[in-house]
Structure 1
């Protein structure tokens, strides 16, 4: 990893602040629209499928372009592309706020996702370059805590803004933050480059269209019928394009996602767990937020406040878990977090009833929040330590992409389960759909916990000398089987 000048302590602090704020802004917009969906539908029109796309347009474009964003940073300069990402995200946020119909809003949300895809993976590689190896666990923990808090607090912040101002302001809020970050990024971040010298445009197109086809089929399945021609075509064409993507990546000289990374058991298992975690978490939050509003009768702000036992935990616990991962095996921390989330969401599935009191939900919300905090803090270190320093940029992009894909699929899949077994009619009909959907989310999280435990044991982050290959404890890991 080449940097234009050696980082200092002040540079490390500024990098942590700037990348955390930028990451918070991008992560917040994953779910911030959820509490605004009723207001958006009333103002702009559109059925449930169009409103679902206000979430998925962002996560899908975010997911499929993350690895391209990492490659652009490696080639043209990570600080430079990071700044472009902030600028695009800021401009498209203004576009979303000014949207006069649902189609324009979906398009603006997709553009926001492109900006987020440029800034998010580079925020982690910029941070890695600026922070000494022995302190990266704490830095990753803070970065992870801020991003985890952003994802989970989207409903709270969105609810407060919608209730007291208007839904447009959930997007206007990004504009002054983005404008303030642009000069700070230019003046305070150290420029660095990676080894990439060519861009994988074909791979990007294949992955984008393949994921779009599958997401479209999941969303339309309950509308058009699971055996209808459009749905079957979406699944079939999407799967075929993803197979073509893998074959292309195996043979091209400049792959967007080097398949050799997956020879590392550490890299493949941790990233599979990340995809499943986002699938279970995003889908569950999407439905539980609506349960609080539509069935329990809370306003958007009241619903967000009542999720605080879940959403406040990352800020409290994740930095401590990140520091702990400098001293013990991070796999155990991540697996524990995933198991707690599975328990918390499974508990919600057991108790979901139309007349459920909020008091009965506090404990499962809190358990889910602790689990999410334990996941976000050490997982970045696990991913970055599973590859060589020269490949950390593409590893960061791949990891974030797989998680966002999980989030997109989670909203689409759990909403499909919900619609197949229930609906938005009577309260009983809602909980009839909610319960099996939450069990799907809980099952995905439990499977993720098991996958993390299959990863090889890693030495604590602080024991890895800066500039050396990741220290993994057994053959078959990136150090042994993922040549660079």
Structure 2
């Protein structure tokens, strides 16, 4: 490959490099809001699914894809969209993304057939794919390197709070309006952000290079197939041929992308960046902590609503303690990371998340909010420690001309991690729930009712209401099985994250930017 990493490092756009401090702060403010919208949109519809099912007669599979089509399209287009922003202008990419997102969000408020909802959410994912990398790359291009970590920390804090903001917003809307109002809210917010985006500067590659279309097609298809397989795993099982085949094909295409990029004169993504321990640590740690965070949301939101009886908005308020440590530690990452090093940050952050899962796994049927509340606070400190440093690790090791692609790598790892977390948590919970409940149900329970009760706790509560005197006993059995299954799932998540903390911690560079000697020796031998 003719270009080296140093050859690719170009100056940022002069218009942004000379921004005044006030203009930089305004750019930071404006670029944080769209990413907050994109992330909140990922989870906001979860609170409205019961209303959507009732209004549209959507099946469970259709409901799943109303949520997942957005994630799938977003994940597979992030790298190509980031590259287009680098090539043709990042503000233009952001504006385009906001327009597509707004139009796609209006459609479900007008046409409410389940298929139309799925298509519209997929189209919104196209817009979101242009929005996310553009926000972070505009921000990093507008700040000099000595100030960049502070700005990235604030951006990362906003992104990390997006899920809770989305639940609060959608819960508040549903308290007063119908589910269609959520889509009107998305469209209105995107329209306002379009106007605000016109007030900031733009940036692009200082030397225009041809876009790597073969690489874009291969990685887009590979990520799409991989994420599809992961998303289908909870419903079909990890041993299903479609799930296995999708994951294998997605992985093979990702490897093929790496081979293609090594042969390209102007690659979409210089895959040699992954040999940089700082870059690789950032990507791996983001994947794991998003896996943990969205797996946690998937399990605990069901516990709060189905076991504790919380409404959607009360559930959102119950999760708000997550935001405090995430925002505080993200904004101060520029201070503590240089003092303790990325290795200790990653190991401690993932360790705290694992500890939070472990403490929460002790929950029982009679436990109240405190059983999940204070372990959640432990987890939030771990998430807060990781949020900004891992993003900075990716952005600071990537040439300035490729900040859009770097931002897309950062965002893609988040999406894959989130999909994997929901799939793992969902699979563990569903398998344990069915296994525990099957031998406990009364033999006289009719087969259709039995199948529904074994399907999920939500279905069990619906069916139990129509079973007369027998319903109360079935409800109690299902609730007990769910809590026991939840405990096992949380323990499994604790082990996964704990092992990851050790493995990534060993690979990560320390305060002196060096890896542990044992890892260096193993790398040299390899």
Fold conserved between structures, TM > 0.5 = yes
Report the counterpart of residue 82 of structure 1 in structure 2.
94
CA distance in 2, matches of 1:293, 1:350: 19
Which sits farther off after the overlay, 244-253 or 293-302?
244-253
Structure 2 spans left out of the alignment, 5+ residues: 1-10, 434-455, 461-477, 518-526
Assess, with a 3 A threshold, how the Cα gap between structure 1 residues 166 and 395 changes in structure 2: closer, same or farther: same
**1:226 CA displacement:** 5.0
Cα RMSD of the aligned pairs, angstroms, is 2.8
- 1:271–1:399 Cα contact (<8 Å) kept: yes
Aligned match of 1:288 = 300
Does residue 438 (structure 1) correspond to residue 449 (structure 2)? The answer is no
Return the match for 1:244 from 243, 252, 256.
Answer: 256
Aligned pair in 2 of structure 1 residues 222, 396: CA closer, same or farther (>3 Å)?
A: closer
Structure 1 residue 37: deviation in Å?
2.2
Q: How far did residue 452 of structure 1 move?
A: 4.2
Give, in whole Å, the separation in 1 of the partners of 2:414 and 2:133: 12
- Specify which of 168, 188, 194 is matched with residue 156 of structure 1: 168
Shift of residue 21, structure 1, vs aligned partner: 0.9
Does the aligned pair in 1 maintain the 2:133–2:404 contact within 8 Å? Answer: yes
Report the Cα offset of residue 274 of structure 1: 0.9
- Paired residues for 1:316-327 under 5 Å: 316-325=328-337
Determine which structure has the larger helix proportion and give its number.
Answer: 2
Q: Which of these residues, 168, 173, 188, is aligned with residue 176 of structure 1?
A: 188
State the Cα distance separating 1:289 from its structure 2 match: 0.7
Deviations along 1:400-430, one digit per CA (max 9) or x if unpaired, are 1112111112212321222222232321232
More displaced stretch, 246-255 vs 87-96: 246-255
Partner of 1:456: 509
**Equivalent residue, structure 1, for 2:345:** 333
Separation (CA, whole Å) in 2 of partners of 1:196 and 1:413: 42
**Residue 421 of structure 2 aligns with which residue?**
410
Q: Deviations over 1:205-261 (max 9, x none)?
A: 333333343444444445455555434443443344333333333333343332111
> Which runs of no fewer than 5 residues in structure 1 stay unpaired?
460-471, 477-484
- 2: distance between equivalents of 1:295 and 1:387? 46
Which residue of structure 2 lines up, in the alignment, with residue 465 of structure 1? none
Matched-pair contact (CA < 8 Å) for 1:198–1:254 = yes
Check whether the contact 1:280–1:440 (CA below 8 A) recurs between aligned residues: no
Determine the C-alpha separation between the residues in 2 that align with 1:265 and 1:213: 27
Provide closer, same or farther for how the CA distance between residues 310 and 409 of structure 1 changes in structure 2, counting only shifts above 3 A.
Answer: same
Q: How does 1:48-67 map to 2 (within 5 A)?
A: 48-67=60-79
Once the two structures are superposed, what CA deviation does each residue of 1:64-102 show, in whole Å capped at 9, x if it has no partner?
211112211111011111211122222222224334122
Q: Distance in 1 between matches of 2:338 and 2:24?
A: 18
Structure number with larger C-alpha Rg: 2
Distance change in 2, residues 1:378/1:269 (3 Å) = closer
Task: Rate the CA distance shift 1:320–1:412 in 2: closer, same or farther, 3 A.
Answer: same
Asked if 1:384 is matched to 2:395, the reply is yes
User: For residues 181 and 323 of structure 2, what CA distance do their matches in structure 1 show?
Assistant: 21
Give the distance between the partners of 2:339 and 2:88, measured in 1 at CA.
36
Match of 2:449 in 1: none
Task: Give the direction of change, closer, same or farther, for the CA distance of 1:216–1:184 in structure 2 (3 Å limit).
Answer: closer
- How far apart are the structure 2 equivalents of 1:13 and 1:380? 19
Instruction: Supply the distance in 1 between the matched residues of 2:189 and 2:120 (Cα, whole angstroms).
Output: 18
Aligned length: 465
Secondary structure class of the residue paired with 2:351: helix
1:47 aligned residue: 59
Deviation of the 1:151 alpha carbon: 2.5
Instruction: Return the alpha-carbon distance in structure 2 between the equivalents of residues 153 and 375 of structure 1.
Output: 19
The answer to whether structure 1 residue 122 and structure 2 residue 134 are counterparts is yes
Alpha-carbon distance in structure 2 between the residues aligned to 1:142 and 1:38: 34
User: How far, CA to CA, are the matches of 2:242 and 2:175 in structure 1?
Assistant: 38
Secondary structure at 2:362 match in 1 = helix
- Name whichever of 279-288 and 206-215 sits farther off: 206-215
